[in-house]
Amino acid sequence: MSGHSTYQPKTGIERWLDARLPIVRLGYDSFVDYPTPRNLNYWWTFGGILSLCLASQLITGIILVMHYTPSADHAFASVEHIMRDVNYGWLIRYMHANGASMFFIAVYVHMLRGLYYGSYKAPREVLWILGCVIYLLMMATAFMGYVLPWGQMSFHGAVVITNLFGALPIVGPSITTWLWGGFAVDNATLNRFFSLHYLLPFMIAGVVILHIWALHVVGQNNPTGVEPKSKADTLPFTPYATVKDGFAMSVFLILFATFVFYLPNALGHADNYVEANPLVTPAHIVPEWYFLPFYAILRAVPDKLMGVLAMFGAIACLFALPWLDTSKVRSMRYRPTAKLYFIIFVVACCILGLCGAKLPDDPVLGHFKTFTLGDADLNSFVWLSRFASLYYFAFFLVILPVLGLVEKTLPVPDSIASPALSHPAAAPEQATAAPEMKG
């Protein structure tokens, strides 16, 4: 896809710079002339939205650090100081806190897009794995950021997550002590989490550069999953994709602003407005919403080490995905059976999120008891999360590998241009399709 450069320096200054540091050429080839498939739909705008989220978190984060004190004695008060005394501190803090949620909304859409359209399949495996690395870094960063206000959720979340590593045999306790810098979560822990929460976003930015690089080597996937064959299949990134991404970002920012200005605490937990108390865990402790599905998987397993392994295994499945899906057809648009299982997968993930927010022994339907299976009543969230976890793993480890071998797929179009221009919906609008050919 990334063919030879078509950049033509026009002015004398451009020619002078191009012979010394061809940075304008790099920008031109990457973001102006870069060919994008002409049939991309709005699910393809979330990469741009994610870049916006990263930039927003970095800028608001650096500003917050100018006023925040990373000490167990002052952290909670310094966040309240930001809210009450710092000029527009409330705005910047709410932008940063809700920005994390927006970041995860966008990343989940981005990942499910990739899952549905087979964007992880050859030759995009490295692109996909780099994305998985970014996702892991995002979770680590979001976790450490949430610890900083030193509220009740901050503190006990830090205890639980660091103890996950304590479940490992032999080395576990040494790792948790090392992470804590002591024998419990305390000032030393808060202090280092602050340092790492500052560092990790720059590592994310570094991996994002690799992610975009890998994307530009293999080229973008598209809803048909058919690789571009001729110039008729693509359009230059600018202005077509730039404007479309810009429009999607504006719509996304409306959602973002709605939360920041009208519902700033809707996605957070009230208990984090209570200062950390190492002696009492709140009765209604719940992780941030974007961790709930993995939390539900952890809690579904009635064993410490196995629960931790299942939770990390749920993410490991993502890394292995390019080799688990055996189907030769890339896009699920032409895979009717896989599409069905994909929809169930999305529902299972939502159910896991719901289970994570409920107490394990609470009944799912009504208030009646059915019968006890193992350690809990069948009509309980712990059993629902077990079924959903089972489906989660079955989707990756059984359904996708088997479907590739047995599924009867639909005919795949020969090229991108043919369905994009002869699509029934596009047929009356051939007049609008024509000027695009000039690109």
Partner 1 sequence: MADTAEGATKGPGSDPSRRDFIYIAAITAAAGGAAALAWPFIDQMNPSADTLALASTEFDLTKVADGQQVTLKWRGKPLFVRNRTPAEIQKAVADDGAAMKDPQKDADRVKPGKAQWLVLIGSCTHLGCVPTFGGGDYGGWFCPCHGSHYDTSGRIRKGPAPLNLAVPEYEFLSDTKVKIG
**Residues annotated as binding site for a ubiquinone?**
216
Measured distance CA(106)–CA(434) in Å, rounded: 33
Residue 4: φ, ψ to 5°: -70, 160
When asked if residue 21 is in the footprint of partner 1 (CB under 8 A), the reply is: no
> Closest by alpha carbon to 309, among 112, 119, 172, 140?
172
The one-character DSSP state at 63 is: H
- The pair of structure tokens assigned to 406 is 């047995």
Which residues, numbered 104-133, are part of the site for partner 1 (CB under 8 A)? none
Residue closer to partner 1 (CB basis): 307 or 413:
307
Spatial distance between the Cα atoms of 154 and 129, rounded to a whole number of angstroms: 30
Query: How many CA atoms, within 13 angstroms, populate the side-chain half-sphere of residue 141?
Result: 25
Q: Which of 359, 47, 70 lies closest to 187 in space, CA to CA?
A: 70
Residues between 150 and 209 with contacts to partner 1, criterion CB under 8 A: 156, 159-164, 166-167, 177-186, 188, 192
Q: How far is the CB of 194 from partner 1 (least distance, A)?
A: 13
**Whole-number Cα distances in Å, 109 to 84, 116, 337, 376, 378:** 35, 10, 21, 34, 32
Return the residues of window 340-399 that contact partner 1 according to CB under 8 A. 359-361, 375, 382
- Smallest gap from Cβ 164 to partner 1, in A, equals 7
Note whether 283 binds partner 1 by CB under 8 A. yes
Nearer Cβ to partner 1 (363/413): 363
Tokens read off for 286: 């719940």
Residue 432 to residues 238, 295, 321, 422, 426, Cα–Cα distance (Å): 18, 49, 39, 13, 9
Q: By CB under 8 A, how many residues form the interface with partner 1?
A: 42
Nearer to partner 1, 300 or 421 (CB): 300
Q: Which is nearer to partner 1, 359 or 390 (CB)?
A: 359
The CA distance from 238 to 43, in Å, is 18
Stretch that binds partner 1, among 31-39, 208-216, 274-282, 406-414 (CB under 8 A): 274-282
Nearer to partner 1 by C-beta: 183 or 371?
183
Contact status: 73 vs partner 1 (CB under 8 A): no
Task: Give the nearest distance from C-beta 301 to partner 1 in angstroms.
Answer: 7
Reading the block at residue 381, the tokens are: 């969230």
CB contact at 8 A, 208 and 216: no
Q: Which parts of 290-319 interact with partner 1 (CB under 8 A)?
A: 298-299, 301-305, 307
229, 204, 206: which is closest to 219 by C-alpha?
229
Considering the complex, what minimum distance in angstroms separates the CB of residue 277 from partner 1?
A: 9
Nearer to partner 1, 186 or 275 (CB): 186
Residue in 74, 75, 93, 73 with CA at minimum distance from that of residue 83: 93
Among 9, 282, 413, 439, indicate the residue that binds partner 1 (CB under 8 A).
282
- Tell me the binding residues for heme b: 96, 110, 197, 211
Residue ranges in contact with partner 1 by CB under 8 A: 156, 159-164, 166-167, 177-186, 188, 192, 278-285, 298-299, 301-305, 307, 359-361, 375, 382
